[in-house]
Every structure is written in C-alpha cells, then in structure tokens.
C-alpha cells in the first residue's frame, strides 16, 4: 500500500526544504522546540493549541464523561465505599459505650467486653472486605476506561494531518500516549475511591463528633480553616510545577527517541558528548521542575501533622477538664467513654485530611497529564469529506492539475499555477533543485494537503469529491527512506494489501526479483525484522517496499527518490523492479539522477514552484535550457 501512509516519517520525508533551511516556509522542528512554542506555532489555532484545559473542574468533568456506560459501576463503587466508611464509624462508638458501661459497673464486665470485641470484629472485618471489593471493582472499571482513552488517542493520532507531526517529536507524542495516560490511570484507580472515602469519613466523623459533644467539636475544628487555606495555596502553586514536569518529561522522551534513531549520525560525526550535554540540560530542567513540584506538594503533610497534633492536645486537655469538672455548658455531660470515642473520631476526622494531602502530588501530576491527553484529543483532524464525496471504485489513474497554487503558509507560496495532465498509464518525471516543489505536488495528489487555489482531478472528478479513505488506496508510494515494521517479511509485504494470501505475497516478491535472497534467509518469508530492517541492506529493504507496492496494485504509482541511496548495481536491480511495477500504471517519478527518468513520457522541470520546462528527454536536451544544464552538470565527466 502507500509507503508510510500512517507513519510520521513520511511527513518528514515529504517536506520540501528551501534555501533558508525552512521546510516549505515553515520553521524547522528544532526551532519550534527551542522557542518553546510546541503546539502554539502559527498554525496553533487550527490545531487547538490555545484550548488546553487549565482547571481542575473542567478536567474532572471530561474524565467523568469518559466513563460513559461505566458510570453506574463507578456509582456502585462509591456506594460500597460509603458502606465501608460507615462501618468504620461504628468502631469508636462501640469503644465509647463499652468504656462508659464498665466505668458505671465499677469493674470489667466480661460479657459486655465480649460483645464490644465481637461488634468491633464484625464492623472492621466487613469494612476490610468491602474495601477489597471496591478496589477489585474499581480496577476493572478504570482499566476499561484507560483502554478507551488509549484507543481514542491512537485513533485521533491516525487521523491528524501531516503538518501536526511536522511540529512535534515522536517522543513527545509517545509521552502523551504512555506516561500521561499511566498517570491518569493511577489517579483513577487509587485516588478516586480513596478521595471519596476520605471525604465521607471526614463528614461522618464530624457528624458523630457533633452528636457526642458540640463544644469539643468546635474546639477540634479550630485548625481546619488554616488547613484548608494552606492546602489550597500549595495546590495552586504546585499545579504549575507539575505541568512543567510533564512538559519536560515529554521533551526528554523526544530527545531520547531522536538520538536513539540517529545513532549512526551521532557516531559518524563524533557528537556523543554533544548529545550527552543536551540530555543533561533537559534532564536538569526535568529534575528542577520535579523537585519544585514535590517540595511544594510535600509541605502539606508535615503542616497537617502539626495542626492535627495541636488539635489532639486541645481536645484531650479540654475533654479531661470537662470530665473532671462535671460541667456540660448545656451540651450534655462529657464522660470518659465520650472522650475515648471523640479522640478516635477526631483521628478519623484528621487522618483522611492527611490522606487527601498525600494525594496532592498524585492528583496534581495526573491533572497535568489529563490536560495533555485532552489537548491531544482536541486536535483538529483532517478535514471531513465533503457531503457530495463518493467512494472511488475501479480507479483508472487519470490525473489532472488545473492552475494549482499552494503554500504551507499563506505568505510563502510553494507551487504557483501548476497545470499538468497525466492520462492512465503515463509516466511523468518531476525534476528540479531541492525545495523547488516536486514533493509538494505529490503531497497534494495524495491529499495530504488541499490546494489553496485551482483543482486536482482524478478520473475527471475533483479529489475533494472522492472519499479520502477510498482515494488513497489508489496510490502506491515508494520513498527513498524505506520503513519496515516489526514483524516477518511476509507481514511487511502484506501491509500493501492485508487480505493477500501467502501465494500472492510471494508472487509480489518474485516480481521484483527479491525471492532468491528472501529464501536464503534463515526463516525465509517468516524471518522476523525489527522496524529498521536490521540484517538487510538498503537495496533489499527497498525491494521489499517495492514488493509491498506491487501487492497493493495501485492505479497511480509515486516513486520519490526511490533509488538515490543505493549503489549503481543495486539501482539497476531496483530499476528493473520498478519498471515491472510501472507497467499499465500512471506513474510520477521524483528523481535527482536524471539517468533514471530518460524514458519518461513527460518530464516536468520545476523551479521555485513553477513548471519552467516540459517535454521528453530528447526534446528538452535539444532545447538546451534548464534541464539540459542539469543533465550536463551530472554527466560532465
């Protein structure tokens, strides 16, 4: 099928470079990274760069919507958590009743003691069982939700236009699909129920404290306003640091992915120390952001412990004095049992606050991750098909450009009033200097982009009036940079047509002359390759990509510098394979080696976005113009 149609490498390869080092007038990716404008460049509005959620409430609402049909299951988990927390409230009450009863009896009442112990065992045992049940249930719910999130993100990535990938590193996107989703998963699985249980326990303990002694309750909550104010200020400041931490982590992942994939270049130029220094710089920023985030959120727990202990001192002192004095101040007499229950309830009141404080770092980090996940979900996909678009059936391969102009930026035109006609079976070669616009023509033809003006027709119908998903399979692309996926040779060739039989796969490989060397491999067609095609030469990998295109049987073939990175002998083999592939198909060949396109039916010479010459090799040589000079330079020796 089309080479690399769903891989961002194609977007990088299919981007022209002009004389200023910019890709079709766009800033290079590195410039975007250094300027810190990732996702907020000149096309940021188009891709939703200014619509990132920045508030906890909005993020929580979106997460709740993701639960969809699972919401009732989550509600059931909350119900279980409520019952478990309620059982936890029974224990302190039983302890207090037992203490008072034995105080009144003046000794140990063993029958009563047994009843209290039995009641405590039942309450705490049932609470533990319900706690395990809620964890088991929430794990299943959350993992299904996380699976949906990952699926939605991956599907969105497949539907984003190539310009999106031109301005983001692979590592940055991988970080969103893995690290950020994992953070959200951690929050949903552990923090959600814990937060709910903690809040319920706080409310329940407060109610029981009010029932036992309103006066002691008032004294116990004196420190709560200070706790809430302090926690709120810490949360506000730490959220910014956690966002910075996630952003730096994504940049670090992008750097690692880039360096690992470019190890050959790094070693060839001896730039190991340079890339290590770059890594250290990003890593240091990540460390600093992580340190600030953890230190800021870590302030909460020690402060809460201090406030909690102060509250215990106040309650114990005031309660002891009330018991000794026998005063009730109109709220009822305070007994030793009430004090025992009250201290337990005050612990249950303060402990959830401490638990919530411990969740701050997890929640803040997860919120930053959720925002990055939703930012990716909010990206604008490729434009939808027009209402009048119809599916393409039995394409003939008649391509026509009518006065087409295009620029990746409105102020930087790349193509200017291009007109060409390629009837079925015709071979058209595109030649010209680097950055002239040759590959942009191909980008427009496959509808990676739409023209700014003019029209492109396929089989006498505007490309925009064909459904995109049925249009693109009619094109087959063989690029200079081949991409093989992790899997067997058979699976890589079958990528051209997934329903092909083993016999059809082998026939395609034989057609391009690669059958002999494939059979010499240890496992033949079952030989497992990694994504770089390790163990195969560049020519062998290219032959497999050509076989992939043969199997796809496209009506229009695009060869983009398909032989420029191989030696002359391998090029001759590849030329024979591509000659077989071109038979009966409309073909567009982009080539700098002019010897490879002398037999083309028509050669278009492109310079600065204009077609300045057109004709056959013989006619262009006879005209002694731009093409003649290019040819003369290549073969001057």
Q: What is the pLDDT of residues 211-264, one digit of tens each?
A: 887 888 887 777 777 777 777 677 667 777 777 887 888 788 778 877 876 776
pLDDT band of residue 7 (cuts 50, 70, 90) is: very low
Cα-only R_g, the chain: 35
User: Would you give the DSSP letter of residue 26?
Assistant: B
Number of C-beta neighbours around residue 598 at 10 A: 13
pTM above 0.85, yes or no: no
For the sheet containing 586-590, what is the strand order? 475-479, 556-560, 586-590, 427-431, 602-607, 610-615
Residue 354: per-residue pLDDT: 66
Helix (H, G, I), strand (E, B) or coil at 375: helix
Return the closest-CA partner of residue 444 out of 457, 431, 461, 425.
457
Evaluate if residue 4 carries a pLDDT over 70. no
Longest Cα–Cα distance in the chain: 123
Helix (H, G, I), strand (E, B) or coil at 345: helix
Evaluate if residue 52 carries a pLDDT over 50. no
Q: What is the pLDDT of residues 172-195, one digit of tens each?
A: 788 788 888 888 888 777 777 777
Evaluate if residue 41 carries a pLDDT over 50. no
Q: Do 425 and 584 meet the contact criterion of CB atoms below 8 Å apart? A: yes
Length of the chain: 637
Full 3-state SS string of 250-272: HHHHHHHHHHHHCHHHHHHCCCH
Q: What is the pLDDT of residues 445-483, one digit of tens each?
A: 988 888 999 999 999 999 999 998 888 888 888 887 777
Residue 611: per-residue pLDDT: 93
Residue 563: per-residue pLDDT: 67
- The whole-angstrom separation of Cα 573 and Cα 570 is 5
Q: Do 13 and 166 meet the contact criterion of CB atoms below 8 Å apart? A: no
Q: Which of 299-313, 320-334, 382-396 has the lowest mean pLDDT?
A: 320-334
Find residue 610's DSSP bridge partners: 607
Average confidence (pLDDT) over 407-422: 88
Question: What is the topology classification, in CATH, of domain 53-238+299-377?
Answer: ABC transporter transmembrane region fold (1.20.1560)
Find residue 559's DSSP bridge partners: 478, 589
Highest mean pLDDT among 38-52, 283-297, 303-317: 283-297
Percent of the chain whose predicted confidence (pLDDT) is above 70: 83
Find residue 409's DSSP bridge partners: 412
Average confidence (pLDDT) over 323-329: 65
Evaluate if residue 503 carries a pLDDT over 50. yes
Average confidence (pLDDT) over 18-31: 36
Q: What phi and psi, each to the nearest 5 degrees, are found at residue 448?
A: -70, -30
Evaluate if residue 292 carries a pLDDT over 60. yes
Helix (H, G, I), strand (E, B) or coil at 447: coil
Return the closest-CA partner of residue 472 out of 43, 24, 10.
10
- The tokens describing 195, both together, are 């937060």
Per-domain boundaries in the chain: 53-238+299-377, 399-634
- The whole-angstrom separation of Cα 86 and Cα 213 is 19
Q: Do 399 and 586 meet the contact criterion of CB atoms below 8 Å apart? A: yes
- The whole-angstrom separation of Cα 404 and Cα 455 is 6
| Two domains, one topology: 53-238+299-377 and 399-634 | no
Residue of 235 and 370 predicted with greater confidence: 370
User: 399-634 belongs to which CATH class?
Assistant: alpha beta
């Amino acid at each position: 099928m089309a080479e690399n149609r769903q891989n961002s490498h194609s977007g990088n390869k299919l981007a022209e470079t002009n004389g200023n080092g910019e890709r079709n007038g766009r800033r290079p990716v590195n410039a975007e990274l250094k300027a810190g404008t990732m996702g907020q460049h000149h096309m940021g509005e188009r891709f939703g760069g200014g619509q990132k959620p920045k508030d906890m409430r909005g993020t929580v609402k979106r997460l709740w919507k993701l639960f969809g049909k699972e919401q009732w299951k989550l509600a059931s988990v909350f119900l279980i958590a409520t019952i478990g927390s309620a059982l936890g409230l029974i224990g302190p009450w039983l302890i207090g009743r037992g203490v008072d009863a034995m105080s009144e009896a003046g000794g140990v009442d063993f029958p009563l003691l047994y009843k209290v112990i039995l009641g405590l065992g039942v309450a705490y045992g049932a609470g533990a069982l319900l706690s395990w049940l809620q964890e088991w249930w929430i794990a299943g719910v959350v993992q299904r939700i996380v699976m949906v999130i990952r699926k939605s993100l991956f599907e969105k990535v497949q539907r984003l236009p190539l310009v999106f990938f031109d301005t983001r590193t692979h590592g940055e996107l991988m970080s969103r699909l893995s690290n950020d989703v994992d953070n959200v998963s951690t929050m949903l699985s552990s923090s959600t129920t814990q937060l709910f249980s903690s809040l319920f326990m706080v409310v329940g303990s407060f109610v029981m404290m009010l029932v036992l002694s309103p006066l002691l309750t008032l004294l116990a909550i004196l420190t709560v306003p200070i706790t809430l104010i302090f926690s709120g200020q810490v949360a506000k400041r730490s959220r910014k640091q956690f966002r910075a931490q996630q952003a730096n982590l994504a940049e670090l992942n992008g750097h690692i992915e880039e360096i690992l994939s470019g190890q050959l270049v790094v070693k060839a130029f001896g730039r190991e120390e340079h890339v290590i220094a770059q890594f250290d710089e990003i890593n240091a920023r990540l460390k600093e952001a992580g340190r600030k985030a953890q230190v800021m959120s870590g302030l909460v727990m020690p402060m809460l412990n201090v406030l909690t202990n102060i509250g215990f001192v106040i309650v114990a002192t005031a309660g002891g004095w009330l018991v000794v004095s026998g005063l009730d101040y109109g709220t009822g007499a305070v007994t030793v049992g009430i004090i025992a229950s009250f201290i337990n309830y005050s612990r249950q009141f303060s402990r959830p606050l401490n638990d919530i404080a411990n969740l701050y770092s997890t929640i803040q980090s997860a919120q930053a991750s959720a925002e990055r996940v939703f930012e990716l979900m909010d990206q604008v996909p490729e434009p939808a098909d027009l209402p009048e678009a119809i599916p393409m059936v039995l394409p003939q391969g008649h391509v026509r450009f009518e006065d087409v102009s295009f620029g990746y930026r409105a102020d930087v035109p790349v193509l200017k009033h291009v007109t060409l006609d390629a009837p079925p079976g015709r071979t058209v070669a595109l030649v010209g200097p680097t950055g002239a616009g040759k590959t942009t023509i191909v980008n427009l033809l496959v509808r990676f982009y739409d023209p700014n003006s003019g029209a492109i027709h396929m089989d006498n119908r505007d490309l925009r009036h064909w459904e995109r998903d049925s249009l693109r399979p009619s094109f087959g692309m063989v690029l200079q940079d081949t991409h093989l996926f992790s899997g067997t040779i058979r699976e890589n060739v079958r990528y051209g047509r997934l329903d092909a039989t083993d016999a059809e796969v082998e026939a395609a490989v034989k057609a391009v002359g690669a059958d002999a060397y494939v059979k010499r491999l240890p496992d033949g067609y079952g030989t497992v390759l990694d994504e770089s095609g390790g163990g195969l030469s560049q020519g062998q990998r290219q032959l497999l990509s050509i076989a992939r295109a043969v199997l796809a049987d496209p009506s229009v073939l695009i060869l983009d510098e398909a032989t420029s990175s191989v030696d002359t002998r391998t090029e001759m083999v590849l030329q024979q394979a591509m000659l077989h592939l071109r038979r009966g198909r409309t073909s567009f060949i982009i080539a700098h080696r002019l010897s490879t396109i002398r037999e083309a039916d028509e050669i278009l010479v492109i310079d600065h976005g204009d077609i300045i010459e057109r004709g056959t090799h013989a006619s262009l040589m006879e005209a002694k113009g731009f093409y003649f000079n290019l040819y003369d330079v290549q073969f001057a020796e």
